[in-house]
Structure 1
Amino acid sequence: MLSDIEIARSVEKVEIKEIGARIGIGEKNLHNYGKFIAKVPVSLINEKRVKESNLILVTAITPTKAGIGKTTVSVGLALGLSKLGKLTIPALREPSLGPCFGMKGGAAGGGYAQVLPMEDINLHFTGDFHAITSAHNTLTALLDNYIYQNRGTLKGLKEVLWKRVLDVNDRNLRNVVTGLNGLTNGVPAESGFDITPASEIMAILCLSENADDLKRRIENILLGYTHEDKPFWVKDLGVAGALTVLLKDAIHPNLVQTTENTPAFIHGGPFANIAHGCNSVIATKMAMSHADYVITEAGFGADLGAEKFYNIKCRKSGLRPKATVVVVTSQSLKMHGGVPVEDIKKPNPQGLANGFKNLDKHIENLHTFGQNLIVTFNKFFFDTQDEIDLLAAHCKEQGVGFAVNDAFAKGGEGAIELAKEVVKMVENNPSKPLHFTYKDSDSIETKIGKIAKYIYGAGSVEYSDKAKK
């Protein structure tokens, strides 16, 4: 089989103005980045259409270190639904440059279920991550200048919570000392660099509804504490407007296409282990404004990404999924079943069955949110029919839907089985009203306690002195 890059380059792409026209977005509303990428203005979101559209979440059991294929399944499902005559758009996260050059590689899908142009999406794309990096580090520079100008006064800061970001995995920059070589170069301080998707500005951008909402959220970033033990916010610096201007283009979602020339929105990308792990609310609503079905994903496993998708993204935006798809692979099940990592690609029905306990816990968790589920087996060439049948029988026992997904090898044709299951669920048995794990009014300790107990099965939570502070 051809490699991902060979497949991506073999596809005859259509110009983005044609992709836009297919979903009712005229050329005058496209801000082109070359022939195959465009930004779409936030103003085109139609809240009435959003309420009428069918949102589908793709999540997964606990993945292997190499991932589990949620993006491939998401794109594949969109292709499968399109083949059934359903106007479908995937709304996905932007890849981060650091992981693209690491173990996981790119994040534009795989095989014959990709978003294109793959190289551009995986690398610099439309500059959204660069804009977020610039806004974050501009805030750092302004904060450092405030500290310099107010050193020795009660207005100065005794504790700084804000660091720097860079969209590169650079171990040596995780912890640094700044402001060396004399007072004219600033006040010496311990600092460090996080990766751009870990920036609070990334999370804020992806939860914002529009530019005004973005500015309001930026104003409420906590930067540190003064010598009088008072919290110090961005609004105390008075620079939220300047930072919002740096994000004036980044706030608009990006329209691209799939390997089968269907539309896709790619926008934002906070990490689920740091923030909420979902693409932007704006891109999701833009897709729902122009499609009957919208496929989105949440990072990592369902215990992390899906939990935050429901408790944070859905709560804050009013979005409600009609169904949830849970991705599994034979490799992930075998890994959780105790099979050595070097052997998880080999047939091992018992090892696979031993991993069902991980799947079952995720199913239990997702049911607490009122979600109806379809488990999809993300097929690899080495998978056996016996193992697929074993999983199908187990899903039947658990009372959840099941479908094989072979979109990696076959594109939309390989996802028709899953697409049919999704349509059947949406039309006949959609998810119940969404239940949240905690109340917005709960204290932070109560929220953490409920998540630890109901999602992770913890008996109690102990806090260090630093955490209590």
Structure 2
Amino acid sequence: GPFANIAHGCNSVVATTTALKLADYVVTEAGFGADLGAEKFFDIKCRKAGLKPEAVVIVATVRAMKMNGGVKKDDLGAENVEAVKKGCANLGRHIENVKQFGVPAVVAINHFISDTDAEIQAVKDYVASQGSEAILCKHWADGSAGIEELANKVVSLVEGKTAQFSPLYPEDMPLFEKVETIAKRIYRADEVLADKKIRDQLKAWEADGYGNLPVCMAKTQYSFTTDPNMRGAPTGHSLPIREVRLSAGAGFVVVICGEIMTMPGLPRVPSAEAIKINDDGLIDGLF
């Protein structure tokens, strides 16, 4: 599906509504962190389709906690309980963000064989301190049996009927205020930096009848900020807006933040540069 760092990050409305007609429980993914995929799933897809989610599963790994705690990628296989505890602040931010939408959440710890019991317990203890529950999932090694506990927990959350879903902002809020709402409440930024040209463009779209559209933030998936190297749960930063684009057909306004690239997957030297037509009129460089 579409990437949640540059697009809306979830499957189609048709896919989800069809599944709801055919199954008792429907599980659908929203990409990357809850600051991107979940926010867009709630504020764009659920709003437009009239969906009311009843539970959220936040997927986390011990390795991600260690990286957010300052451990280098090459050292993630070594036990480091203190780094796990430090990095859990990032997970806590995601839990807080999901709660803002009124949907109960459970944390799924996606198990790696390098995870130690002490590291796993550190994550469980932290999540419990945040009023949620973390469940160890070993589906990679044990198949469906390794995730049965999580499935039962999700069913209990759904059957508990505690969800009171509500989008983060109303449809009639001005476009720039929608951007500020996401930046301040989800990313914990202090301010949004946008020049007069960008602000005027948003006002022009409002005048043309597009003011009720949700906004789709294009931002690095590696941080709550626009700096991919700023880990953890930073606050007090600024969110620079580089460009805005109207996707009238899709039904949202794309807000491009920082240095995010909207055509992902290209290497520094694209393969297209090696494609040529030779003297015989044939194409060289395709493979």
- Range of TM-score over shorter length: 0.5 to 0.7
Contact kept, 8 Å, 1:401 with 1:421, in 2: the verdict is no
SS at match of 1:296: coil
TM-score, normalising length: structure 1: 0.42
Matching residue of 1:392: 124
Contact kept, 8 Å, 2:62 with 2:123, in 1: the verdict is no
Matching residue of 2:185: 454
Q: CA deviation at 1:285?
A: 1.1
Letter in 1 for 2:104: N
Provide the C-alpha distance between the structure 2 equivalents of 1:457 and 1:291, rounded to a whole number of angstroms.
37
SS at match of 1:425: helix
Task: Report 1:14-163 matches (<5 A).
Answer: none
Provide the C-alpha distance between the structure 1 equivalents of 2:83 and 2:193, rounded to a whole number of angstroms.
34
Matching residue of 1:341: 73
Check 1:466–1:431 CA distance in 2 against 1; reply closer, same or farther (3 A cut).
Answer: farther
Aligned counterpart in structure 1 of residue 50 of structure 2, from 290, 303, 318: 318
Runs of 4+ in 1 over 6 A off after TM superposition: none
Matching residue of 2:165: 434
> Gapped runs of 5+ residues in structure 2?
202-287
- CA deviation digits over 1:358-409, x for unaligned, max 9? 0111111111100111011000111111111111111111110221111111
Contact kept, 8 Å, 1:326 with 1:375, in 2: the verdict is yes
SS at match of 1:325: strand
> Gapped runs of 5+ residues in structure 1?
1-268
Q: CA deviation at 1:466?
A: 4.0
Provide the C-alpha distance between the structure 1 equivalents of 2:92 and 2:179, rounded to a whole number of angstroms.
22
Letter in 1 for 2:173: D
Aligned length: 200
Q: Which has the higher contact order (CA 8 A, sep 6+)?
A: 1
Contact kept, 8 Å, 1:370 with 1:435, in 2: the verdict is yes
- CA deviation digits over 1:135-189, x for unaligned, max 9? xxxxxxxxxxxxxxxxxxxxxxxxxxxxxxxxxxxxxxxxxxxxxxxxxxxxxxx
Matching residue of 2:103: 371
Q: CA deviation at 1:465?
A: 4.0
Aligned counterpart in structure 2 of residue 352 of structure 1, from 57, 80, 84: 84
Check 1:431–1:312 CA distance in 2 against 1; reply closer, same or farther (3 A cut).
Answer: farther
TM-score, normalising length: structure 2: 0.67
Provide the C-alpha distance between the structure 1 equivalents of 2:46 and 2:134, rounded to a whole number of angstroms.
25
SS at match of 2:53: coil
Q: CA deviation at 1:426?
A: 1.5
Provide the C-alpha distance between the structure 2 equivalents of 1:315 and 1:274, rounded to a whole number of angstroms.
19
What is the CA RMSD across the aligned residues, in angstroms?
Answer: 1.2
Matching residue of 1:405: 137
Q: CA deviation at 1:303?
A: 0.2
SS at match of 1:364: helix
Q: CA deviation at 1:432?
A: 2.2
Matching residue of 1:254: none
Matching residue of 2:204: none
SS at match of 1:293: coil
Provide the C-alpha distance between the structure 2 equivalents of 1:465 and 1:272, rounded to a whole number of angstroms.
27
Check 1:303–1:431 CA distance in 2 against 1; reply closer, same or farther (3 A cut).
Answer: farther
Matching residue of 2:207: none
Matching residue of 1:445: 176
Provide the C-alpha distance between the structure 1 equivalents of 2:51 and 2:59, rounded to a whole number of angstroms.
21
Letter in 1 for 2:68: H
Matched, 1:300 2:32: yes
Matching residue of 2:224: none
Contact kept, 8 Å, 1:276 with 1:309, in 2: the verdict is yes
Provide the C-alpha distance between the structure 2 equivalents of 1:401 and 1:382, rounded to a whole number of angstroms.
22
- CA deviation digits over 1:244-283, x for unaligned, max 9? xxxxxxxxxxxxxxxxxxxxxxxxx222122211001111
Provide the C-alpha distance between the structure 2 equivalents of 1:333 and 1:284, rounded to a whole number of angstroms.
31
Provide the C-alpha distance between the structure 2 equivalents of 1:397 and 1:272, rounded to a whole number of angstroms.
29
Provide the C-alpha distance between the structure 2 equivalents of 1:348 and 1:314, rounded to a whole number of angstroms.
39
Check 1:466–1:273 CA distance in 2 against 1; reply closer, same or farther (3 A cut).
Answer: farther
Provide the C-alpha distance between the structure 2 equivalents of 1:271 and 1:380, rounded to a whole number of angstroms.
24
Matching residue of 2:247: none
Letter in 1 for 2:9: G
Q: CA deviation at 1:300?
A: 1.1
Matching residue of 1:277: 9
